Amino acid sequence: MLILNCPYCGMDVDETDLHAGGQAHLKREGPGSDDTAFEDYLFMRENPKGVHFERWRHVYGCGKWFHAARCTNTLEVFGTYSAQTLEPPQAIRDAISEKRPGWSWGTLK
């Protein structure tokens, strides 16, 4: 069972109280972007066996979106943080690097 801490209301929340929103930190492509970049934005997603950054919504709680860093293989959660960030906080990146030597932010892109 996946349990995430909502960074807004501070509750440890069971996944049944959350709604998954897919990959976090997508770079939006808008008018003027080329077709390939827009196609990648719409359809291409990472699907790693390991560290992944995801969007979640505390749908049966405060209703806010947040980001979570977790391992898709072990369900280990490295941390949750505000969805209003462009990159994961350094503390979370450090926690991942400590447990997954050799991992670095952006290696799957």
Concatenated DSSP letters of 16-83: GG-EEEEESSPPP--TT--HHHHHHHHH-----SSEEEEEEE-TTTT--EEEEEEETTT--EEEEEET
Say whether residue 58 binds Zn ion (CB under 5 A).
yes
Q: How far is the CB of 57 from Zn ion (least distance, A)?
A: 9
Say whether residue 62 binds Zn ion (CB under 5 A).
yes
Say whether residue 71 binds Zn ion (CB under 5 A).
no
Say whether residue 67 binds Zn ion (CB under 5 A).
no
Q: How far is the CB of 6 from Zn ion (least distance, A)?
A: 3
Question: What is the rounded distance in angstroms from the CA atom of residue 78 to the CA atom of residue 51?
Answer: 9
Question: What is the rounded distance in angstroms from the CA atom of residue 16 to the CA atom of residue 33?
Answer: 37
Q: How far is the CB of 41 from Zn ion (least distance, A)?
A: 28
Which of 9, 44, 75, 91 lies at the binding interface for Zn ion (CB under 5 A)? 9
Say whether residue 65 binds Zn ion (CB under 5 A).
no
Residues near Zn ion (CB under 5 A) are 6, 8-9, 58, 61-62
